[in-house]
Amino acid sequence: MAKQFYTPEEVSKILKVSRNFIYKLIRRGEIPTIRIGDLHRIPSDFIDQLVGGITNEH
């Protein structure tokens, strides 16, 4: 079964940016999240589209 959600920490490693930058984008509403209590979870389809868009531009 494919992963449905990523943690902000996982996304920071995938995108090779800091965890703080990911949280900044979450606060600005640029990365959609699902909240589970105090935890943010980022849908994998959003990351797949983002990464696919980055790799298709070059």
Report how many domains make up the chain.
1
Query: Which band of pLDDT confidence, cut at 50, 70 and 90, is reported for residue 56?
Result: low
pLDDT of residue 54: 64
Query: Which band of pLDDT confidence, cut at 50, 70 and 90, is reported for residue 58?
Result: very low
pLDDT of residue 53: 66
Contact 34, 43 (CB under 8 A): yes
pLDDT tens for 2-47 read 789 999 999 999 999 999 999 999 999 999 999 999 999 999 999 9
pTM over 0.85: no
For residue 11, the enclosing domain spans 5-57
Q: Is the dihedral of CA 5, 6, 11, 12 positive or negative?
A: positive
